[in-house]
Structures are given as C-alpha cells and as structure tokens.
Amino acid sequence: MRSVVLVAVLLTATSLHAETGRDAWLRYTELDEAFAQHYRDALPSSIAVLGQDVVEQTARQELIRGIRGMLRRTLRTEQRLPADAAIVLGTSDEFRRLAPQFAITLGLTADAYWLKTTDIKGTRYILIVGGNPQGVLYGAFALLRKVALGDAVNELDDKQTPAVPIRWVNEWNNLNGTIERGYGGSSMFWENEHAREDMSRVSEYARMLASLGINGCSINNVNADPRVLSPDLIPQVARIADTLRPWGVKVAIAVDFGSPKTLGGLDTFDPLDPSVSAWWKSKVDDIYRAIPDFGGFVLKADSEGRVGPSTYGRTHADAANVVARPLKPHGGVIFYRGFVYDHHMDWENLKNDRARAAYDNFHDLNGKFDDNVIIQIKNGPIDFQVREPVSPLFGALDKTREAIELQITQEYFGQARHLVFLVPMWKETLDFDMHIRDRSTPVKKIVGAVVGVSNVGMDENWYGNHMSQANLYGFGRLAWNADLSPRQIAEEWTRLTFGADPVVAKTIVDMQLTSWRTFENYTGPLGLQTLTDIVGNHYGVAVEASERNGWGQWHKADSKGVGFDRTVATGTGFIGQYSPAAMKLYETLENCPDDLVLFMHHVPYTHKLHSGKTVIQYIYDSHYDGAETVERYAKEWKALNGRVDERRYQEVLAQLEYQAGQAIVWRDAVNNWFFKESGIADSKGRVGHHPGRIEAESMRLTGYTPMPVTPWEAASGATAVECGEAKCAAAVTYVGDAGRHNLVVQYFDHQDGVSRFRVWVGSQFVDEWTAADRLPTRKVDSSSSSRRTIRGLELRGGDEIRIEGIPDGRETAALDYIEIVSAQ
Ligand code: GCW
C-alpha cells in the first residue's frame, strides 16, 4: 500500500550527481525538504536498542545512516529507554524482559519482525521488534525502505515473517580470485589462493544481503577446491565470517567430496568407511572451533567431473549423511546438489534424456537423508535455460528437505551484457502447482530454503551492469516473500535505485517486465532453450552446439522437424515424472503450452501452435520481435536523458545499444540456420533478405582476406574478412538514393587485442573507434560480433565508403558486413 506521501515523492527532484551503482538500492539519497520534514515529524528523533547483540547494533547504525542520508537528521542514541519519543529496537524476548511497559505478547519466529507505532501516556514510540537480532535488522531495513519509497510510517503495524527460514546465496568464487560464471569482475573474497586482506567490499555486500533478509552466503565455487578445508584456510574463512556476522549473514563453504583422500591423506573417501566419517567429524569440529556460527556446506558430487559416492557404489544419501552428521550437533546444514547428470550420454539413443537425470538420481532416496540435509534443486530439469519447465524432482521428495536453486548471475541470459529481469521467470516456477496427490502444491510451498547463485564481483556496480542488480534484489525479495508480484519488486527496485521520477520508473519497469520474453524471443523460443554455445562460453549464438554431444542439451532439429519428444507415449518418458495433473498439461500437443512445446514434443516445422502460427514462422517472427524490442528499449532509454544521472545514463545506454546489436546477430543466426535446415521461407520475406546489407567479402579489399566463420551462422554469408597486415581496407561505392543515411558496420571484437577502425566517405573522415569491449571469446564468432552505427550521413550516389582496419595483437580487425539504411 503506497500512501498519500508518495505524491510528495513524485514531486521530489531527482538528484543527478554521477552515481557508480556501488550503493545499489541502499542509496539513501536526500529527500526534498517538504518531504523530509514530513518524515522528521512522523519519526522520533532518538533511538534506543534493548539488546547487546552485534546485529542489533548494526540495525541501529543502519537506521542512523539511512535517516541521516534521507532526512538530514542524526538520530540521538540513547543508552536506556528514554522517557520521550524514540525508535526502540529489540527482540521480542528483550522487549518482554527489559521493556514490559510495551506489553509485547506477539510471538515472532526467527528472522521475523514487527514494526509498530505505539503511544504510552502520550509519548510516541516506533518499535522494531525482531524474532531474533536478525529480525531486528530486517525490520530496520524495512522501515528505511518505507521512507525511501514514500510509504506512510504514521501508524505502523506491519508484521513480516519470511516464507522460508533459509535464504542463502552461493558465490562460485575460486581461490585464485576468478569467478565461475561471474561477469562483474574478480572475487571480493579470494585473491592468489588466500582470503583478501581488505574485506570492505565483503562488508558492503553483506549489507546488501541483509537488506533483503538473506542470511547465509557460501563463499567458494561448488566445483570446490579441496584446499578450502585446509588448516591454513579455515582461519581465513573465519575472517570472512567475522565480516559477514554483524549483518546476520552466516558463512558457508562448498566442499569437495574427495577431500578426505586428497586433503586428508586417507586412502579412501568412501562415505561408509569409518575413517572417512571420522575425518569429516574432526574437520567440522575444527571449523566450529574457529567459526561457532558456521552455516554449513554445499556439495556437488558425481556431476560434471566431480567425484562422488558412485566411486564406491554408494548412494547420494550415504554421501550427504556422512557430511551432515558432524554438522548436526553444531546446528549446521548441508546443501546437497540435485544437479547430477551424465555428461557423456549417448546422443544416438533416443530414450536418453538429461532432463530425467535429477529425478532418476534422487527420487528413490526420498526419506533416506538426515534431517539437516537439504537437496538443492535447480528450478528446471536442465540448467538455467531461457525457458524450462519446473524440475519434477520438487514433487518427489516429500520426506526430504528441499531447496530451490535460482541463478542470479545471468549465465545463459546474456551475461550482464543483456538486460534480463529474471523475477517473472522465478515467480512462474515458484507458483507452479505440482499437484502432488491431487492437492494444490505450488513449488513455493514445497521448498524450505531458497538459494541464489549470485556471483557478484569487484566491479564498481557489482554485476558489470546496473540493471542486473535488480535480479539480486528480486531474488532476495522473493526468497522472503514468494507472493510478491514481479511488478511490485521491479517498482521498488527502480525507485530505490533510480529515484522517484515517474517517467524513469515507468520506462525501466516496463523494460524489466518484458525483458525475459524479449530475450527468449531472440535466443530460444518455444522451449528450444538458449541456443548458445553450450560447450563453450554460454554467451553467443551457436544453434548446433548442443547437438551430437554427450551433454544432453539437445533440441533435435533436423530437416523435417524440431523439438525433443519427452512424452510417455512415444518419447523419453520425462513427462511421466510429474504428477498426473501436470503430466496432462504436457503430454499432448493439444494441452501443451506453446512456450514449452519444443521442450516436450518433436514436431514438423509446419505444426500449428495454439497461437495459429506454424512453428517455423513463430521462430522467424519471435526473433524479429525480440530484436526490435531491444532497439525500442534503447530509444526509450534515450528519452530519459537528463532524468537519470549522467554516468548511469551513459553506461546503461551503451549496454542497451550493444544488446540491440547482439539481438540482431542472434536473430539472423537462428533464422538463417532454421531456414537452411527446414527449407521453408519466411512468409514475411525477411529471412535471408537484408536490404542495404553489403557483405565485407564482396567489397573492394586491400589487405583484407575472406575467412569462413564457425559456426557458419555466426557471420552474415558465413564469411568475414580479416586483416593479416598492419592495416587493411574494405571499400564500396554507394549506389542508392541521395539523402541522410545510417551506416552500420558489423565487426568483430575479441579479447586478444584492441583493433582500430576508421571510416571515410569519399575523402571525408567520418568515424573511428576501437574494439576494446570485454567479450567472452578469443575468436571471430557470434560472441565477438559487434555493431557500430554511424548516424545521419548525407550520402550521394557514387560516394566511396571506405573502412580501414588496424589489427592489434591476435585480433584481426575482422569485418562481417556493412548496412546502409535510410535515416528518414
Ligand atoms: O550451469 C552449469 C555451469 C557450470 C556450473 C554448473 C553447476 C559450477 O555452466 O559452470 O558449475 O552448472 O551448477 O554446478
């Protein structure tokens, strides 16, 4: 509920000083005077904390900081309960013991909070009551959020209880300082095989986590280095724990199941061997001596080359339990990952199906895990693809604790170079009804923990992209309350991050709410999954990369049809892993939603969808739609010039313009590939026809030589030109109408150098740039394909357009094509 106060927020001038994004949604920018005055009147000017716990002290400090920032008031700190108005913080126990006059009888569970305005003999208090010290801190953040959002604080009576008790993030950080699937710079925890000396970023991050109610953080890659358990490293983990503790965030680590052997020197890591269980016990006891509030372990076993219980013919339950038992007396848990599959699967066996793996591996073990084991299950049965059904394993473990694992880092979602707001997708998963035993059982009611793969880095704005922060924010908010709507979350984040200007808010929220569909449209619609290089960087387009290899992420497109038959009737039987009601949704083409049709069925390209379109036409259209929508985002963003601080305005604009170019690379690659494979033309005549496009290989080349590109669809005409000399040029004579034109230059920018490009029209020099972007490839391919648009050139027939490329290092100043389009 937004109050009257909001109106005042809308009138508040945006503060437009340059922002780096480092403060994320916790900026606490000054409110305008009238508005600040309103809150100064509504909020007491002193603060008192009942308890001694460090987390409660943090809560007080945060309130002082936030109120000082927004309201230009430094709250008076009172050592004991003042007789006049105050904000009073404490746990419900502390209130009962130390401030009985408030008569707090309400029961609050761990982490819950209650914000309550109360009057005692005419004196006004705002109480922040927590079920525990963390709850107090979460309450403090909630109060500050209300002020920042313009919500009423006059008559507070707001009790919030988190949906699940365990809300953790996993950071896939390596001890050498790199981050697996991290796109925001290097690790804030580790550097050169040690914990960093300077923990200030960790502390800032912990604050962000606490502001969302996240209460645990696993600080190393699940592809775990056994050394993390070495006697040297444990004190360093303890130092990280000390930094997280004031924010109520527990530290956890990912462990390698082979550690008893590789690190401990035993000759086995068999979970049923007594020496192995003794080793785990002594290791766990050592950890708790150093870190009494240690959260626990994350374990990836028997997956993607990690060792596991299969070495000894043991089960996942044996493996999980041997590690869980010594954790138990200390209150620790183990998250055992459900992401177990065979990546050497025979692709010629039509019954093989990676999607089946998690369920097949775990459902028989239901009830066999100790009660401090939590099976951590990815949202979908494959691997964080652009669209997947819900993992059927959620419905198969009713006697075992379950966590849902969501990926905040955008591995298959454009890796911080593309704007994709993931909350709507997560929300669909959490709301999906598994219909277990014919009862309504949405995933959010099944899971007892929510885990997000976060992977923030040292980049000033944490993710390498301002917009990606919204995914961490949204993850935390949903983990706390899965009933929040994506719109509410997007609105909150946008207002907190970019201010209250309604035009800014509307533009950003609209982009965010449509961005998942947009990304899906130009990457992998209809349940095809992200058509990226799945054996490489998971970034650029490579339609066939997932086929004919053991990784099992097949879409099975051939000249006749496309899609993976996972039906019970004729396919792999995957659909049979769901309850009868969910099965019914997917098993027949009549019922199966279009969005997942190719995940569940193999159909001819001419199959008509519920929408009435054929599959092939849908593929073509969605790719054009997706690319056009991103172009629209960039235009809409430009309309915010002057409404967003200059630095973030420019950085987001550059990101959206880049994304618009990449969306075209995807559009053309996917559409050309399916056109070649199916032989069916686009009914709208666009695929394969690009008015104004001139292939670089057909230009007059000086020094440049044509090269085939792999995969072929990554370059227009399957060919680029590259320069093997100090300097090369490609020229063409313009033959079109006279007038204002935009000139697009499609070139390649990889990691091995910084090539330069210069452009002339006749003798007039019109543009130059360097290929210095940070893109995940060392090759001429779809990931390096980049776009430069030179706007508004007045061209006349007969003009020579000439592009000069100057290679650098191993980068060859390669060109794909140019396009000349009217700017009218
Ligand atoms: O999505 C895949 C990633 C791997 C990751 C693995 C996992 C940590 O490509 O980088 O390894 O999933 O979740 O274990």
Closest atom of ligand 1 to 337 CA is: 14
Does ligand 1 have an atom closer than 6 angstroms to the CB of 172? Answer: yes
Distance between CA atoms of 60 and 623, rounded to whole angstroms? 51
Q: 722 alpha carbon to ligand 1 midpoint, in Å? A: 34
Q: Is the pTM of this model over 0.95?
A: yes
CA nearest to 805, candidates 791, 778, 786? 786
Q: Whose CA is nearest to atom 11 of ligand 1?
A: 223
Distance between CA atoms of 535 and 744, rounded to whole angstroms? 31
pLDDT of residue 7: 45
Does ligand 1 have an atom closer than 6 angstroms to the CB of 300? Answer: yes
Residue in this structure with the two tokens 């604790």, named with its chain if needed? 401
Residues near 331 by Cβ (< 8 Å), separated by ≥ 6? none
CA nearest to 358, candidates 328, 336, 338? 338
pLDDT digits (tens, 9 = 90+) for 370-416: 999 999 999 999 999 999 999 999 999 999 999 999 999 999 999 99
- State the alpha helices, DSSP H only, in 643-693: 646-678
Distance between CA atoms of 232 and 235, rounded to whole angstroms? 7
Closest atom of ligand 1 to 223 CA is: 8
Distance between CA atoms of 307 and 288, rounded to whole angstroms? 25
Does ligand 1 have an atom closer than 6 angstroms to the CB of 180? Answer: yes
| pLDDT < 50: residue spans in the chain | 1-4, 6-14
Q: 756 alpha carbon to ligand 1 midpoint, in Å? A: 35
For a ligand 1 pocket test, name from 178, 221, 223, 376 the mutation site with the most ligand atoms within 8 angstroms of its C-beta. Answer: 223
3-state secondary structure of 233: coil
Does ligand 1 have an atom closer than 6 angstroms to the CB of 405? Answer: no
Does ligand 1 have an atom closer than 6 angstroms to the CB of 427? Answer: no
CA nearest to 58, candidates 71, 49, 68? 49
Distance between CA atoms of 137 and 246, rounded to whole angstroms? 10
Q: Whose CA is nearest to atom 1 of ligand 1?
A: 383
**β-pair partners for 367:** none
Instruction: Verify whether residue 119 is a known catalytic residue.
Output: no
Instruction: Verify whether residue 411 is a known catalytic residue.
Output: yes
For a ligand 1 pocket test, name from 383, 384, 451, 534 the mutation site with the most ligand atoms within 8 angstroms of its C-beta. Answer: 383
Q: Find the helix or strand (DSSP H, E) in which 147 lies.
A: helix 133-149
Question: For residues 124-163, b (16+ Cβ closer than 10 Å) or e, as one string?
Answer: ebbbbbbbbbbbbbbbbbbbbbbbbbbbebeebebebbbb
- In this structure, what DSSP letter does residue 491 have? H
Residue in this structure with the two tokens 């895990």, named with its chain if needed? 369
Contact status, residue 733 vs residue 798, Cβ threshold 8 Å: yes
CA distances from residue 519 to 275, 414, 423 in whole angstroms, order as listed? 51, 8, 14
Q: Which two tokens stand for residue 575?
A: 């659909």
Does ligand 1 have an atom closer than 6 angstroms to the CB of 223? Answer: yes
> Can you spell out the DSSP letters for 297-358?
EEE--SSTT---GGGGT--HHHHHHHHHHHHGGGT-EEEEE-----TT--TT-TT--GGGHH
What is the signed CA dihedral for 720, 723, 727, 733, rounded to 10 degrees?
-30
pLDDT of residue 18: 84
Q: 451 alpha carbon to ligand 1 midpoint, in Å? A: 14
Instruction: Verify whether residue 62 is a known catalytic residue.
Output: no
CA nearest to 484, candidates 131, 213, 208? 213
CA distances from residue 573 to 158, 388, 472 in whole angstroms, order as listed? 48, 16, 35
pLDDT of residue 80: 87
Closest atom of ligand 1 to 172 CA is: 8
Pairing label, strands 46-49, 86-91: parallel
Q: 523 alpha carbon to ligand 1 midpoint, in Å? A: 20
Choice among 19, 53, 94, 383 that is catalytic: 383
Closest atom of ligand 1 to 180 CA is: 10
Distance between CA atoms of 598 and 708, rounded to whole angstroms? 31
Pairing label, strands 76-78, 46-49: parallel
Q: Which two tokens stand for residue 135?
A: 């709850």
Closest atom of ligand 1 to 181 CA is: 10
Pairing label, strands 401-407, 449-453: parallel
Helix axes 646-678 and 502-522, enclosed angle (nearest 10) = 20
Residue in this structure with the two tokens 């038992």, named with its chain if needed? 325
Does ligand 1 have an atom closer than 6 angstroms to the CB of 193? Answer: no
